[in-house]
């Protein structure tokens, strides 16, 4: 498309040409005079008419022309004709918006259904876990109330069993509160410089009695004397106690539990391994869910609230890390996570 300035030049040239042609038809015998007159009118006439048209008419048109070009660039940058048609088609836009809305709504409904199923399972699990120790304690206490003349040794035995059930109930409630507080951020992680070696050695001493009952040996495998990390000492101790305790309870009879610490430049990789029966692959994705049991009958015999690994997962995540599990049937299980080095 020609600009207004070019149009004014062409128009001036055409008008001057017509005027010059008219002069050439005037009656004269001097061809030189005709040529000079024709050329003069054509050249000077074109110039004068051009400036007259450009200043009086096309100057304003040229301003409008430039403004239109700027508006086009701003509103339709590099848009093809096909894209422009699609952009201006309200039906296509509506279809796209409806499709996107339906897709988002379907995803939200799926998530809500999944959350509803999870809540139902959680409530059922909590009810079951709370009911067991409460009913046990009730049974022992009511037996003693109904038989006030029972022998002292039997009364003592029943009271000890009732106390054990109530202790289990207390541990369950505490673990539930811990999980809830960590998830909601009520418990803050206070990272400080700590040495893991003495902490692990102390944990081994605490769990030595349990380990001896099952014939399990505890090992610490680490090249460094000082394993300085940035972590919350109380929370990381809770993690290590849970993992070592699980290794003792669910590992191999007369087996071993090893805490392996490897230097990974900016962090330490802490692994707790046992050489027990291992865990089937189908159970691994759900292993850190609250109250999830791999072997319900064996878990009941071993004790525990069913919340240990869930607590471990949340504490490790609060430290900016992730708990990993590797297990093979008849080969053993390994839990591992990283902690940042304290420099």
Asked which of 232-241, 270-279, 296-305 is least confident by mean pLDDT, the reply is 296-305
What would the two tokens of residue 78 be? Answer: 């590099």
Which residues make up the CATH 1.10.287.130 domain(s) of the chain?
92-184
At residue 340, φ and ψ (nearest 5 deg) are -70, 140
For range 285-299, the mean pLDDT: 68
Does the predicted TM-score (pTM) go above 0.75? no
Are 290 and 306 contacting, i.e. CB atoms less than 8 angstroms apart? yes
| 244 contacts: CB under 8 Å, gap ≥ 6 | 203, 204, 207, 218, 257, 259, 272
For range 259-278, the mean pLDDT: 92
Residue among 288, 267, 270, 271 nearest 279 (CA):
288
For domain 192-340, give its CATH number from 3.90.1150.10, 3.40.30.160, 3.90.950.20, 3.30.565.10.
3.30.565.10
pLDDT digits (tens, 9 = 90+) for 113-132: 766 665 666 566 666 667 77
Distance from C-alpha of 197 to C-alpha of 220, rounded to nearest angstrom: 8
Residue 113 pLDDT: 74
Residue 212 pLDDT: 93
Whether the pLDDT of residue 29 is over 50: the answer is: no
Q: Which CATH architecture has domain 92-184?
A: Orthogonal Bundle (1.10)
Residue 46 pLDDT: 56
Distance from C-alpha of 79 to C-alpha of 137, rounded to nearest angstrom: 77
Whether the pLDDT of residue 296 is over 80: the answer is: no
Residue among 246, 313, 260 nearest 285 (CA):
313
pLDDT digits (tens, 9 = 90+) for 37-88: 556 555 655 565 555 555 555 555 566 556 666 655 555 454 454 554 445 5
Are 267 and 341 contacting, i.e. CB atoms less than 8 angstroms apart? yes
CA–centroid distance for 23 within its chain: 87
Distance from C-alpha of 103 to C-alpha of 82, rounded to nearest angstrom: 27
Looking at per-residue pLDDT, the higher value among 89 and 269 belongs to 269
Residue 259 pLDDT: 95
Which residues make up the CATH 3.30.565.10 domain(s) of the chain?
192-340
| 228 contacts: CB under 8 Å, gap ≥ 6 | 193, 194, 195, 196, 341, 342
pLDDT digits (tens, 9 = 90+) for 132-174: 778 888 888 888 888 888 888 888 888 888 888 888 788 777 7
For range 231-248, the mean pLDDT: 92
Task: Give me the percent of the chain exceeding a pLDDT of 70.
Answer: 63
Whether the pLDDT of residue 97 is over 80: the answer is: no
Could you give the strand order of the β-sheet that contains 324-328, starting from the edge strand earlier in sequence?
217-221, 256-264, 267-274, 332-340, 324-328
């Amino acid at each position: 498309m020609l600009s207004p300035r070019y149009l004014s030049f062409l128009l001036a040239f055409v008008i001057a040409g017509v005027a010059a042609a008219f002069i050439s038809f005037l009656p004269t015998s001097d061809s030189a005079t005709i040529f000079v007159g024709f050329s003069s009118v054509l050249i000077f006439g074109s110039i004068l008419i051009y400036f007259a048209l450009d200043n009086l008419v096309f100057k304003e048109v040229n301003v409008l022309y430039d403004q239109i070009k700027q508006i086009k660039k701003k509103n339709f940058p590099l848009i093809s004709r096909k894209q422009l048609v699609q952009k201006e088609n309200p039906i296509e836009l509506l279809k796209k918006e409806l499709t996107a809305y339906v897709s988002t709504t379907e995803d939200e409904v799926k998530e809500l259904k999944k959350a509803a199923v999870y809540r139902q399972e959680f409530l059922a699990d909590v009810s079951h876990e709370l009911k067991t120790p409460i009913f046990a304690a009730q049974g022992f206490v009511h037996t003693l109330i109904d038989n006030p003349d029972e022998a002292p040794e039997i009364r003592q035995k029943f009271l000890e069993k009732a106390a054990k059930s109530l202790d289990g109930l207390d541990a369950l409630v505490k673990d539930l509160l811990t999980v809830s507080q960590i998830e909601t951020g009520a418990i803050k992680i206070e990272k400080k410089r700590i040495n893991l070696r003495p902490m692990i050695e102390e944990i081994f001493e605490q769990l030595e009695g349990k380990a001896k009952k099952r014939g399990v040996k505890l090992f610490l495998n680490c090249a460094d004397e000082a394993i300085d990390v940035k972590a919350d000492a109380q929370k990381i101790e809770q993690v290590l106690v849970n993992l070592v305790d699980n290794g003792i309870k669910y590992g191999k009879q007369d087996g071993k539990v090893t805490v392996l610490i490897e230097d990974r430049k900016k962090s330490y990789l802490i692994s707790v391994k046992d050489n027990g029966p291992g865990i089937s692959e189908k159970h691994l994705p759900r292993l850190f869910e609250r109250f999830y049991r791999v072997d319900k009958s064996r878990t009941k015999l071993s004790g525990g609230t069913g919340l240990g690994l869930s607590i471990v997962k949340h504490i490790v995540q609060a430290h900016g890390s992730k708990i990993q599990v590797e297990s093979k049937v008849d080969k053993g299980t390994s839990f591992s996570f990283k902690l940042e080095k304290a420099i």
